[in-house]
Chains A and B, each alone.
Chain A
Amino acid sequence: MLPTPSTSHVCFDRVYEPAEDSYLLLDTISAPSETAFLHDRFPKASTTPLVLEVGVGSGVILAFVAANANTIFGRDDVLTLGTDINSFACQAASQTVQHAIANPNHSIFLDVINGDLASSLRLDSVDVFIFNPPYVPAELPNFSHHDDYNALPPGKQSTTFEQDSYLLELSYAGGEDGMAVTDRMLDQIPFILHESRGVAYLLLCAQNKPEEVKQRIRAWGPGWEAETVGSSGKKAGWEKLQIVRIWKP
């Protein structure tokens, strides 16, 4: 069992608190079958892999990968980079990762960028992509106040209640079928992933219609695969949450 990074410094009033979905991603990525796959895909002599997590929230997942790079990839030279639409999450996650790798300081943490999904990433640049999306079927928040809500109110030292509610909604509300944000992300994935060795891990819930999502990914073009590599909350034959691996073998 690898240790879970500490997020005790994070204010969960406006940043998503690690939950069952986060832990399923940690367990899946560090499971023997997945680490064997990653060791094989990123052999020690190959160039340094870049891990990108979109929507880092508290940073618990990215910090886990950074701190356990040696177990997960079999090498210490792994770069980690995060993005989040919530600037408070960017600051919190950055601290979480730095704290997790402080001792011993092996893998290399780059930054957490405040942005929309992976819109600022160069084509073909990401080797390992991780996304725990806002997957709950619920109306998307109204983005028109994002700039105001994304920073402390002028002259104030704390956020407002409306602001915190909005920022938390961003972390879970996924629109129709809980897929509005994930669909936008899926449009970007084939472009940002490294064309030969890129691999993506995507969390889906049952309401996201995961079988249909996987079919759509396989239809991206020749070579694309999408398989469930982790799941939790099995009830009457269907999984509540699952992790889908997207890659070209």
Chain B
Amino acid sequence: MKLLTLNFLTCAIKTCKSSPLSFPLHPREVELEILETDYNAVFLRNILPRLEWEALRVLAGELGLPSLPESSPDVSSLSTSSEEDDSETPTQVAQDLHRLLLETCIKEGKLVCGCCGHEYAVKEGVANFLLPGHLV
């Protein structure tokens, strides 16, 4: 499960949705794996404005990953262009972001709601958000 996916997820319990505590979900006892994927410059540029940066910072911190700057990097900091052949080279900021959002995956572990404390299991990379009958 990609870390970027967590940008779009919250607790499945209806009454938690309105609470700011239900986002982001908090990873616990997590085993991470790196699954490499192609770098996509256009994507990185266009996803930046819709990232919940503060949530991503919290997530990186809780996972013990290198800490992120306080505010979202500017689009202009993602690439440097060469005057010789008009090509664009991704900066370290961009490469780190690519690695964090798309290549860092939760293989096993739990995702915990900060509002109700419910734990959602992640097994073999698949998160299970099904609730027991009494919580639906």
B112-136 interface mask toward A, CB cutoff 8 Å, 1 = contact, 0 = none? 0000000010001111111111001
Interfacial chain B residues near A48, Cβ < 8 Å: 43, 46-47, 50
Interfacial chain A residues near B131, Cβ < 8 Å: 116, 119
The reply to whether A46 and B46 form a contact with Cβ atoms under 8 Å apart is: yes
Q: Within the assembled complex, what's the spacing in Å between the Cα atoms of A219 and B124?
A: 42
Query: Which A20-47 residues sit within 8 Å CB-CB of chain B?
Result: 45-47
Interfacial chain B residues near A106, Cβ < 8 Å: 40
Kindly specify which of B5-13, B56-64, B66-74 makes contact with the partner chain. B5-13
The reply to whether B126 and A120 form a contact with Cβ atoms under 8 Å apart is: no
B41-55 interface mask toward A, CB cutoff 8 Å, 1 = contact, 0 = none? 011001101100000
A63-95 interface mask toward B, CB cutoff 8 Å, 1 = contact, 0 = none? 000000000000111010101010100110010
Query: Which B80-130 residues sit within 8 Å CB-CB of chain A?
Result: 102, 120, 124-130
Interfacial chain B residues near A240, Cβ < 8 Å: none
The reply to whether B128 and A87 form a contact with Cβ atoms under 8 Å apart is: yes
The reply to whether B127 and A114 form a contact with Cβ atoms under 8 Å apart is: yes
Interface size for chain B: under 10, 10 to 19, 20 to 34, or 35 or more residues?
20 to 34
The answer to the question of B30 belonging to the interface, with a C-beta cut-off of 8 Å to chain A, is no
The answer to the question of A206 belonging to the interface, with a C-beta cut-off of 8 Å to chain B, is no
The reply to whether B40 and A115 form a contact with Cβ atoms under 8 Å apart is: no
Chain A residue, CB-CB nearest to B128: A114
The reply to whether B130 and A121 form a contact with Cβ atoms under 8 Å apart is: no
Q: Within the assembled complex, what's the spacing in Å between the Cα atoms of A75 and B46?
A: 11
The reply to whether A108 and B40 form a contact with Cβ atoms under 8 Å apart is: yes
**Cβ contact of B126, chosen from A45, A76, A112, A122, cutoff 8 A:** A112
**Cβ contact of A116, chosen from B1, B43, B129, cutoff 8 A:** B129
Query: Which A99-128 residues sit within 8 Å CB-CB of chain B?
Result: 105-106, 108, 110-116, 119-123, 125-126
Q: Within the assembled complex, what's the spacing in Å between the Cα atoms of A91 and B129?
A: 15
The answer to the question of A146 belonging to the interface, with a C-beta cut-off of 8 Å to chain B, is yes
Interfacial chain B residues near A125, Cβ < 8 Å: 8
The answer to the question of B4 belonging to the interface, with a C-beta cut-off of 8 Å to chain A, is yes
The reply to whether B126 and A113 form a contact with Cβ atoms under 8 Å apart is: yes
The reply to whether A77 and B129 form a contact with Cβ atoms under 8 Å apart is: no
The reply to whether B129 and A119 form a contact with Cβ atoms under 8 Å apart is: yes
Chain A residue, CB-CB nearest to B11: A120
Task: Report the minimum CB–CB distance from A247 to chain B (whole Å).
Answer: 19
The reply to whether A115 and B12 form a contact with Cβ atoms under 8 Å apart is: yes
The reply to whether A143 and B133 form a contact with Cβ atoms under 8 Å apart is: yes
Q: Within the assembled complex, what's the spacing in Å between the Cα atoms of A30 and B11?
A: 33
**Cβ contact of B42, chosen from A75, A87, A113, A126, cutoff 8 A:** A75
Interfacial chain B residues near A90, Cβ < 8 Å: 126
Q: Within the assembled complex, what's the spacing in Å between the Cα atoms of A145 and B29?
A: 28
The reply to whether B43 and A121 form a contact with Cβ atoms under 8 Å apart is: no
The reply to whether A121 and B47 form a contact with Cβ atoms under 8 Å apart is: no
Given contacts A108-B102, A116-B136, contact A121 B50 (CB under 8 A): no
Chain A residue, CB-CB nearest to B17: A123
The reply to whether B126 and A114 form a contact with Cβ atoms under 8 Å apart is: yes
Q: Within the assembled complex, what's the spacing in Å between the Cα atoms of A115 and B12?
A: 9
**23 pairs from A and B in contact (CB 8 Å cutoff):** A47-B46, A47-B50, A48-B43, A48-B46, A48-B50, A75-B42, A76-B43, A79-B4, A81-B5, A91-B126, A94-B125, A106-B40, A111-B126, A113-B127, A115-B127, A116-B130, A119-B12, A119-B131, A120-B12, A120-B129, A123-B17, A143-B133, A147-B132
A83-B129, A94-B126, A108-B40 given; 18 more Cβ-contact pairs under 8 Å: A47-B47, A47-B49, A48-B43, A75-B42, A77-B42, A87-B126, A108-B102, A111-B2, A113-B5, A113-B9, A113-B128, A113-B129, A114-B127, A115-B129, A119-B12, A121-B10, A125-B8, A143-B133
